[in-house]
């Protein structure tokens, strides 16, 4: 029985690392992945981080911090594919995998040590295999509890392993700033500092009732557990090998605020195609389509519509969000950002699409999959809706793909 059965495996600068696989010439340059113009940073490589660049930073701020930064567009299909491969590698080590996002997961390896060796050896095997197979690096924290493993993986970055045994928890955790604790965000950190709790040790040596009076019954008790590394030690693994996301979406910030319906509808088409492609790659469909719009004053609203049947078809998603946009009745209001999201995702194999009398044998589903095959082989720019190629003009369903389609 091992005393450090939990691994937290976290990909290093995942989106940037995946994007740089095709651009080895940029490995030593500051690189960010994200939207151009007034978009924000999705991920920054470690060279860019030296300039103070972090995720969610506006691109205008990024260019002030580092004028020579290289901005690469996100390729969500590739990110999803790489993530699925990494998660499958985890499940070959142990079925007890609790995925937290595309690029991180907890693993319980207590049932694997007889076959693969001690947890720290398994961690090194995973790092080596992910690097060899995916061309990216990861960091691993090894500990008895979830929170300590998470903190350990942060301290291991980039491309390292940190093992914290139960007897070492206090010397490892207590000197750290309270903001290092798993789940303690910036707001909670500020609140704790104002109350004179600066280090984890300050929390650990405060009686639980005192913390509960200051921060509430639940939070006070939880903070005390985190400070001693006595939070949960059991994982909640997903039921299937690839548990789908509950929703998928994409948004885009315009280079200039616009009230031009044609430009907005074209962007909604671009986003619908992106989301549809990600759904098809993940093998999921959804019924609820959501439109997000952000005005010039940063006011943001969303509108949703539930379709009669679940879909992953670009045309159907685009038709739904366009109707939602038109229903807003906007005339002169200028938009800063638009977004498309499909929610309530389920495996495509679990849904039988209803047959419609008189429906052509080949339609938009086949067209989407033909586009997917072309983009996988020739790149994302190989095939795109005709209206997006021209960049102007009326957008309608007959323009989305060339040819005689319904």
Write out pLDDT tens, residues 170-228: 999 999 999 999 988 888 899 999 999 999 999 999 999 999 999 888 889 999 999 99
Give me the number of domains the chain comprises: 3
324 within domain boundaries:
yes
Residue 203: the pLDDT is 95
Q: Which residues are annotated as a binding site?
A: 10, 103
399 within domain boundaries:
no
Nearest to 387 by CA among 400, 405, 397, 375: 400
Please write the tens of the pLDDT for every residue from 385-402: 555 554 444 444 433 333
End-to-end CA distance of the chain: 62
Residues 261 and 215 in one domain: no
Report the C-alpha gap between 80 and 82 in whole angstroms: 6
Provide the pLDDT confidence category of residue 366 given band limits of 50, 70 and 90. low
User: Which of 226-240, 243-257, 280-294 holds the top average pLDDT?
Assistant: 280-294
327 within domain boundaries:
yes
Residues 139 and 193 in one domain: no
Given a contact cutoff of 8 angstroms between Cβ atoms, the answer to whether 245 and 84 are in contact is: no
Task: Copy the structure tokens of residue 266.
Answer: 């074209």
Task: Copy the structure tokens of residue 231.
Answer: 């939070």
Given a contact cutoff of 8 angstroms between Cβ atoms, the answer to whether 140 and 155 are in contact is: no
Higher pLDDT, 259 or 361: 259
Residue 350: the pLDDT is 63
Task: Copy the structure tokens of residue 94.
Answer: 């142990």
Provide the pLDDT confidence category of residue 1 given band limits of 50, 70 and 90. low
- Angle between helix 314-327 and helix 261-282 axes, rounded to 10 deg: 140
Residues 215 and 140 in one domain: no
Please write the tens of the pLDDT for every residue from 130-182: 999 899 999 999 999 999 999 999 999 999 999 999 999 999 999 999 999 99
Would strands 70-72 and 31-34 be described as parallel, antiparallel, or unpaired? Answer: parallel
Residues 214 and 122 in one domain: no
Report the C-alpha gap between 209 and 57 in whole angstroms: 39
Backbone φ, ψ for residue 176 (5° rounding): -75, 155
168 within domain boundaries:
no
223: containing domain = 174-235
Nearest to 106 by CA among 136, 166, 148: 148
Residues 110 and 25 in one domain: yes
Nearest to 48 by CA among 37, 36, 35, 59: 59
Q: The domain that contains 199 carries what CATH number? A: 1.10.150.20
Three-point CA angle 104, 107, 113, nearest 5° = 145
Q: What is the dihedral of CA 131, 11, 35, 392, to 10 degrees?
A: 60
Residues 89 and 231 in one domain: no
Report the C-alpha gap between 127 and 140 in whole angstroms: 8
**Residue that is last in its domain, among 163, 184, 201:** 163
Given a contact cutoff of 8 angstroms between Cβ atoms, the answer to whether 309 and 326 are in contact is: no
Higher pLDDT, 298 or 34: 34
Q: Which residues are annotated as a binding site for Mg(2+)?
A: 10, 103
Residue 273 clears pLDDT 70, i.e. is over it: yes
Residues 149 and 263 in one domain: no
Q: The domain that contains 252 carries what CATH number? A: 3.30.1490.100
Q: What is the percent of the chain with per-residue pLDDT over 70, rounded to a whole number? A: 83
**Catalytic annotation, pick one of 104, 252, 267, 316:** 104
**Residue that is last in its domain, among 163, 194, 214:** 163
List helix spans (H) across 146-256: 146-156, 169-173, 186-194, 200-204, 208-215, 217-228
Residue 391: the pLDDT is 44
Nearest to 136 by CA among 8, 19, 278, 282: 19
Q: How much is the pTM?
A: 0.63
Residues 82 and 61 in one domain: yes
What is the 3-class SS of 52-121, one letter each residue?
CCCCCCEHHHHHHHCCCCEEECCCHHHHHHHHHHHHHHHHHHCCCEEEEECCEEEEECCCCHHHHCCHHH
Let me know if 104 is a catalytic residue. yes
DSSP at 180: G
Residues 157 and 196 in one domain: no
Residues 180 and 158 in one domain: no
Provide the pLDDT confidence category of residue 314 given band limits of 50, 70 and 90. very high
Task: Copy the structure tokens of residue 151.
Answer: 């903190």
Q: The domain that contains 103 carries what CATH number? A: 3.30.70.270
241 within domain boundaries:
no
302 within domain boundaries:
yes
Helix (H, G, I), strand (E, B) or coil at 256: strand
Residue 353 clears pLDDT 60, i.e. is over it: no
Residues 217 and 292 in one domain: no
Residue 26 clears pLDDT 90, i.e. is over it: yes
348 within domain boundaries:
yes
Task: Copy the structure tokens of residue 179.
Answer: 């903001």
Nearest to 246 by CA among 204, 301, 186, 288: 288
Please write the tens of the pLDDT for every residue from 58-88: 888 999 999 999 999 888 888 888 888 898 8
Residues 269 and 296 in one domain: yes
**Residue that is last in its domain, among 207, 235, 263:** 235
401 within domain boundaries:
no
Residue 20 clears pLDDT 90, i.e. is over it: yes
């Amino acid at each position: 029985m091992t005393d450090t059965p939990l691994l937290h495996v976290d990909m290093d600068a995942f989106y940037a690392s995946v994007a740089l696989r095709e651009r080895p010439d940029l490995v030593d340059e500051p690189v960010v992945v994200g939207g151009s113009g007034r978009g924000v940073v999705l991920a920054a490589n470690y060279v860019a981080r030296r300039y103070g660049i972090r995720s969610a930073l506006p691109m205008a701020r990024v260019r002030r911090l580092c004028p020579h930064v290289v901005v690469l567009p996100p390729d969500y299909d590739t990110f999803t594919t790489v993530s699925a491969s990494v998660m499958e590698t985890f499940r070959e080590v142990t079925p007890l995998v609790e995925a937290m996002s595309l690029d991180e997961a907890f693993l319980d390896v207590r049932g694997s040590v007889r076959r693969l060796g001690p947890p720290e050896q398994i961690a090194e095997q995973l790092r080596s295999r992910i690097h060899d197979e995916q061309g990216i690096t990861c960091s691993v924290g090894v500990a008895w509890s979830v929170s300590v493993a998470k903190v350990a993986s942060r301290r291991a970055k980039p491309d390292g392993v940190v093992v914290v045994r139960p007897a070492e928890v206090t010397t490892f955790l207590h000197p750290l700033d309270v903001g290092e604790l798993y789940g303690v965000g910036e707001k909670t950190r500020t609140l704790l500092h104002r109350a004179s709790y600066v280090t984890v040790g300050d929390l650990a040596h405060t009686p639980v009732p005192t913390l509960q009076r200051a921060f509430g019954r639940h939070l006070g008790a939880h903070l005390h557990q985190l400070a001693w590394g006595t939070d949960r030690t059991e994982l909640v693994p997903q039921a299937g090998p690839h548990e789908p996301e509950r929703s998928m979406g994409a948004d885009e910030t315009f280079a200039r605020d616009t009230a031009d319906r044609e430009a907005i509808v074209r962007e909604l088409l671009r986003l619908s195609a992106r989301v549809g492609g990600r759904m098809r790659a993940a093998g999921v469909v959804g019924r609820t389509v959501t439109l997000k719009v952000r005005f010039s004053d940063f006011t943001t609203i969303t509108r949703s519509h539930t379709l009669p049947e679940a879909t992953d078809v670009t045309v159907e998603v685009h038709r739904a969000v366009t109707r939602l946009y038109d229903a807003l009745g906007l005339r002169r209001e200028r938009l800063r950002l638009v977004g498309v999201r499909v929610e309530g995702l389920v495996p495509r194999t679990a849904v039988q699409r209803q047959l419609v009398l008189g429906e052509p044998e080949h339609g938009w589903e086949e067209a989407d999959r033909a586009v997917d095959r072309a983009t996988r082989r020739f790149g994302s720019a190989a095939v795109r809706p005709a209206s997006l190629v021209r960049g102007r003009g009326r957008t309608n369903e007959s323009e989305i793909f060339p040819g005689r389609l319904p």
